[in-house]
Amino acid sequence: MSQTKVFFVFPGDINTRTGGYLYDKLIIEQLKKAGWDISLISLEGDYPFPDEAMRQSAARQLAAIPNDSLVIADGLAFSVLPELFQEHESRLRTIALIHHPLALETGLSDEQSAALKMSETEALRYAAHIITTSEHTAETLADFNVSNDRITVVFPGTAQAAVAVGSQSDIFNLICVATINERKGHAVLVKALKHIEHLPWQLSCAGSCDRDPDTYKDLVQLTEKLGLNDRIRYCGELNNEQLEIEYQRADLFVLASYYEGYGMVLDEAIARALPIVATSGGAIADTVPRDAGILTTPGDSEELANALQQFMEKEPIRESLRAGAANARKDLRSWSDAALQFDSVLKQYG
């Protein structure tokens, strides 16, 4: 196809190592390969809570986009700038990319949650179309007055990876890959591990410790209080090579999130044939293959501890979950497949 111009609007740095930004980045790379000419527009500021100066800056950047342009707007920015996208509704064709509704983020006050829901509901009125990354998120948008015919689900892809070799010892290596913030439930995981302190395990947590410093500080204090300092490592944000080393030495992937709009790290674990113990929060229940993982109630540390104990103490369960993960690994789709579906949506509006 001849190159068609698309403007991709997002807050901050596209190289930020979170699932949402990684999705954006890899979809952009694949769309460029398919012939789309994509211009990146990075909005500066503290999203999803931009101040007036940040809103004015975003207004100038959106106003500079030529008339009749095709725009993809990441929901982290789109959903909190309804007045701007209303202003440009008639001259821009905007597709909103919603990873998960902002109002469902853990740790918000009631007032913040209500304000975000009102803002997102309003903003979604001005999208020509909406792309979500899971069926769960698509269904959730009914609460934001969005009809199903305005939504296309484009599931993430997954890069191929080698099967994890594991610890090859009597100690179970657990890995959790998640930015440390309240929604990811690290404190629940630490409390669960305290319940099974008598079992041979160690945990590596890979993910930024800087984006929510208060939560990280509390987590470190909790780990010290429970006497688990020598068994839990907070590795911080790792590059691809460092992260692969952690994956390869792992025996089990764990995730205690209260909510996930999809949870791409779960597919990354499956790509390495790693069994999973996680919660059922948000789209996780639809993402983890039933025979590859054990799911627990979000926020329930005792239930999570029981699931981890089953994995460690019962070899038939371990072997069954490993076999399930290895089998599910064969069915993971590529990022090029994901981009093909994204491409088909763009062609309807480009």
Query: What are 9-28's pLDDT values in tens digits?
Result: 999 999 998 999 999 999 99
Task: Give me the residues paired with residue 41 across strands.
Answer: 9
Q: In the beta sheet, which residues pair with residue 205?
A: 176, 234
Sign of CA dihedral 283, 287, 291, 292: negative
User: How far apart, in whole angstroms, are the C-alpha atoms of residue 289 and residue 286?
Assistant: 7
Residue 1 scores a pLDDT above 60:
no
* Residue 61: other Cβ atoms inside 10 A: 16
Per-residue pLDDT of 155-210, as tens digits, reads: 999 999 999 999 999 999 999 999 999 999 999 999 999 999 999 999 999 999 99
Instruction: Give 104-124 pLDDT, tens digit per residue.
Output: 998 899 999 999 999 999 999
Assigned token pair, 37: 């000419």
Residue 230 pLDDT > 70: yes
Cα-Cα-Cα-Cα torsion 250, 253, 254, 259, nearest 10 degrees, comes to: 150
For the chain, the domains span 4-157+333-349, 172-329
Q: Enter the tokens of residue 280.
A: 């059922």
Distance, CA of 285 to CA of 293 (rounded, Å): 10
pLDDT for position 4: 83
CATH topology of domain 172-329: Rossmann fold (3.40.50)
pLDDT at 3: 54
Write the CATH number of the domain with boundaries 4-157+333-349. 3.40.50.2000
What is the predicted pLDDT for the residue at 2?
43
Backbone phi, then psi, for 210, in 5-degree steps? Answer: -100, -20
The pLDDT value given to residue 350: 76
Q: Summarize pLDDT for 280-331 with one digit per residue, the tens.
A: 999 999 999 999 999 999 999 999 999 999 999 999 999 999 999 999 999 9
* Burial track 298-332 (b if 16+ CB lie within 10 A, e otherwise): bbbbebbbbbbbebbeeeeebeebbebbbebbeeb
Q: 4-157+333-349 and 172-329: same fold?
A: yes
In angstroms, what CA-CA distances link 44 with 55, 112, 115, 243, 327?
9, 21, 21, 28, 43
Dump pLDDT digits (tens) for 337-348. Answer: 999 999 999 999
Task: Give per-residue pLDDT as tens, 277-288.
Answer: 999 999 999 999
Assigned token pair, 107: 């740790």
HEC secondary structure over the chain: CCCEEEEEEEECCCCCCCHHHHHHHHHHHHHHHCCEEEEEEEECCCCCCCCHHHHHHHHHHHHCCCCCEEEEEEHHHHCCCHHHHHHCCCCEEEEEEECCCHHHCCCCCHHHHHHHHHHHHHHHCCCCEEEECCHHHHHHHHHHCCCHHHEEECCCCCCCCCCCCCCCCCCEEEEEECCCCHHHCHHHHHHHHHHCCCCCEEEEEECCCCCCHHHHHHHHHHHHHCCCCCCEEEEECCCHHHHHHHHHCCCEEEECCCCCCCCHHHHHHHHCCCCEEEECCCCHHHHCCCCCEEEECCCCHHHHHHHHHHHHHCHHHHHHHHHHHHHHHCCCCCHHHHHHHHHHHHHHHC
